[in-house]
Chains A and B, each alone.
Chain A
């Protein structure tokens, strides 16, 4: 049984690696196909044809695409992600801090958003088709549909500009205490929370409704088990796998999809690094970022699938 599980997990991981390879190759050629290159981007308004040609040559951009891909992929296999064409620093060292910042923001958001979403979703499922459920549904939809830059800006206007309660920027360098940490992160986290809680709560509700209508939940009620206890003891172990999937999908958004929150709060995360690197056509950096996003997404969904595999392994009659 465990051997079969191991095999299934290995298959799943292998499948994810296939996706990753696909993305690595696709991203390289797509970014190579982008009009313009780093030489033009660097010189900007000051570009003259001979200056561009010389710079291009010095950056080895005049080599054929396949040759460049071979060189880059070879480096990748050795664990070398290359050097930024703009700053001439190793890409990994540039990504390192930004990734940590992003993970921090994503982590804190998760810490608040996941319990909130699970709670909302579960409550909606318990009180399904009641006024409470409809209200939550309406509110979450509203929050999802309003553009996040509006939410973020409104929050800043109210809490930073009018009330002077919180700083308008979430500058990492200004954090020296727990207090300043909370102050700096509260608004970005709240904004991101708004974006993902709605979606997560809706999916949680769907999962919960499904489980709550199962006959063993009814049985537990008929045994005299209180609703809170039913949720905690009976329902939770059964919804871990689907909920993990819900969470995984939301989390992968938290890494790559938060450009706007990063820019509004001046938070140095990896999403803005990626947009920046696209703008400056810093291909090695773009590729590394893409690989990170892709790997994070695949890691999370694979993890979710493995959790599902393990728990379904436990359940299915074999």
Chain B
């Protein structure tokens, strides 16, 4: 009993979202291992080749195997965006709830700061961050986390504002509970649904920002790649209906839509 409870709390998601997330994580980890070819290997003299038995998803704009690159791309997209989103949302949610809880100066200062950050277009912030600190995976993750934190902050602050007025917060405060406990144990569990839905949306944005950054030349370093850049670098293949461009775009859609629907479902059940 002592064990089963916290475990259940730790995994607020039930069935579908958990399975889905596990599936993508599994794919992210094993993808590079099961890829038939190295991601940089030119395997065919035909570019934008259609689906064939040798190259299940055809070849890309340089004649590389799309399936292999897709597996590598999925891996880095999922891992990078997941880490960035989780970082952004945990920090944003914590601060948002704290601002709602503390009110007053803390709230004002934090909110003004976040409003300022959010008002700068995300692509610009990303560009500047990478231009200043160089392009590496930690910088990318941190930049994306910083860019999406204010949005998460805003959402959770709004959500928390209605919760902090509830009497159970009052009674916990009367007991003399610390802020950390109030935020994490009393308030957060009551907004997991909307927060998770928010996480899903932010994940979409992160995938998108990553691809835009990659396109502007500040994203992942070759031979690493992500789904957005795979779509983008093979965009010319669109005129030939090449799987090289369709496959990554579809993967993005399946990844993000599936995750969001699952998280939404969770939110509605709450």
> Is there a contact between chains A and B in the complex with CB atoms less than 8 Å apart?
yes
Chain A: residues with CB nearer than 8 A to chain B? 15-16, 18-20, 22-23, 26-27, 30-31, 33-35, 129, 137-138, 141-142, 144-147, 149-150, 153-154, 157, 161, 199, 252, 256-257, 259-260, 271, 274-275, 278, 290, 293-294, 296-298, 301
Q: Which residues of A contact B207 (CB under 8 A)?
A: 145
B252 → chain A closest CB, angstroms: 6
Instruction: Kindly state the separation between the CA atoms of A23 and B114 in the bound complex, as whole angstroms.
Output: 10
- Between A and B, 14 residue pairs with Cβ closer than 8 Å are A19-B113, A23-B120, A137-B261, A142-B257, A145-B252, A147-B208, A149-B232, A150-B245, A257-B121, A274-B121, A290-B124, A293-B120, A297-B118, A301-B115
B17 → chain A closest CB, angstroms: 14
Known contacts: A146-B249, A147-B252. The answer to whether A19 contacts B208 by CB under 8 A is no
Which of B4-12, B54-62, B96-104, B127-135 is the interface stretch? B127-135
Asked if B108 is at the interface of the complex by the 8 Å CB criterion, the answer is yes
Does A22 contact B257, Cβ atoms closer than 8 Å?
Answer: no
Name, among A19, A20, A271, the residue most crowded by chain B CB atoms within 10 Å (CB to CB): A19
Does A19 contact B121, Cβ atoms closer than 8 Å?
Answer: no
Instruction: Kindly state the separation between the CA atoms of A298 and B118 in the bound complex, as whole angstroms.
Output: 10
Asked if B156 is at the interface of the complex by the 8 Å CB criterion, the answer is no
B16 → chain A closest CB, angstroms: 14
Instruction: Kindly state the separation between the CA atoms of A161 and B236 in the bound complex, as whole angstroms.
Output: 14
Does A141 contact B257, Cβ atoms closer than 8 Å?
Answer: yes
Known contacts: A23-B116, A35-B132, A294-B116. The answer to whether A278 contacts B124 by CB under 8 A is yes
Residues 120-164 of chain B: 1 if any A CB is under 8 Å from the residue's CB, otherwise 0?
A: 111110011001100000000000000000000000000000000
Q: Which residues of B contact A34 (CB under 8 A)?
A: 128, 131-132
Instruction: Kindly state the separation between the CA atoms of A89 and B118 in the bound complex, as whole angstroms.
Output: 30
Asked if B119 is at the interface of the complex by the 8 Å CB criterion, the answer is yes
CB closest chain-A residue, reference B115: A19
Chain B: residues with CB nearer than 8 A to chain A? 108, 111-113, 115-116, 118-124, 127-128, 131-132, 201, 204, 207-208, 211-212, 216, 228, 231-232, 235, 238-239, 245, 249, 252-253, 255-257, 260-261, 264, 268
CB closest chain-B residue, reference A145: B256
Q: Which residues of B contact A199 (CB under 8 A)?
A: 201
Q: Which residues of B contact A31 (CB under 8 A)?
A: 128
A-B contacts besides A22-B113, A294-B119, 15 pairs, CB < 8 Å = A16-B115, A18-B112, A19-B116, A129-B268, A137-B261, A142-B257, A147-B228, A147-B252, A150-B249, A153-B235, A252-B119, A271-B121, A290-B124, A293-B121, A301-B115
Known contacts: A145-B252, A157-B238. The answer to whether A298 contacts B119 by CB under 8 A is yes
Known contacts: A15-B108, A157-B238. The answer to whether A146 contacts B119 by CB under 8 A is no
Q: Which residues of A contact B261 (CB under 8 A)?
A: 137-138, 141
Q: Which residues of A contact B228 (CB under 8 A)?
A: 147
* 5 nearest A-B residue pairs (beta carbon): A256-B121, A297-B119, A145-B256, A294-B119, A22-B116
Q: Is the interface of B mostly helix, strand, loop or mixed?
A: helix
Q: Choose one: B112, B113, B127, B232; the contact of A147 (CB below 8 Å).
A: B232
Instruction: Kindly state the separation between the CA atoms of A252 and B208 in the bound complex, as whole angstroms.
Output: 18
Instruction: Kindly state the separation between the CA atoms of A18 and B239 in the bound complex, as whole angstroms.
Output: 49
Q: Which residues of B contact A260 (CB under 8 A)?
A: 212
Q: Choose one: A129, A150, A161, A301; the contact of B235 (CB below 8 Å).
A: A150
Known contacts: A35-B131, A157-B239. The answer to whether A259 contacts B252 by CB under 8 A is no
B103 → chain A closest CB, angstroms: 14
Does A145 contact B204, Cβ atoms closer than 8 Å?
Answer: yes
Instruction: Kindly state the separation between the CA atoms of A150 and B238 in the bound complex, as whole angstroms.
Output: 9
B186 → chain A closest CB, angstroms: 23
Q: Which residues of B contact A252 (CB under 8 A)?
A: 119
Q: Choose one: B122, B238, B268; the contact of A257 (CB below 8 Å).
A: B122
Instruction: Kindly state the separation between the CA atoms of A199 and B201 in the bound complex, as whole angstroms.
Output: 9
Q: Choose one: B111, B212, B253; the contact of A145 (CB below 8 Å).
A: B253
Q: Which residues of B contact A259 (CB under 8 A)?
A: 121, 123, 212
Does B124 contact A256, Cβ atoms closer than 8 Å?
Answer: yes
Does A275 contact B128, Cβ atoms closer than 8 Å?
Answer: no
Instruction: Kindly state the separation between the CA atoms of A20 and B255 in the bound complex, as whole angstroms.
Output: 37
Instruction: Kindly state the separation between the CA atoms of A298 and B114 in the bound complex, as whole angstroms.
Output: 11
Q: Which residues of B contact A271 (CB under 8 A)?
A: 121
B42 → chain A closest CB, angstroms: 25
Instruction: Kindly state the separation between the CA atoms of A296 and B212 in the bound complex, as whole angstroms.
Output: 23
Instruction: Kindly state the separation between the CA atoms of A156 and B155 in the bound complex, as whole angstroms.
Output: 36
Instruction: Kindly state the separation between the CA atoms of A301 and B249 in the bound complex, as whole angstroms.
Output: 33
Instruction: Kindly state the separation between the CA atoms of A257 and B205 in the bound complex, as whole angstroms.
Output: 12
CB closest chain-B residue, reference A294: B119
Q: Which residues of A contact B212 (CB under 8 A)?
A: 259-260
Q: Which residues of B contact A141 (CB under 8 A)?
A: 256-257, 260-261
Does A27 contact B115, Cβ atoms closer than 8 Å?
Answer: no
Q: Which residues of A contact B113 (CB under 8 A)?
A: 19, 22
Does B238 contact A154, Cβ atoms closer than 8 Å?
Answer: yes
CB closest chain-A residue, reference B236: A153
Does B260 contact A298, Cβ atoms closer than 8 Å?
Answer: no
A213 → chain B closest CB, angstroms: 13
Q: Which residues of A contact B264 (CB under 8 A)?
A: 137
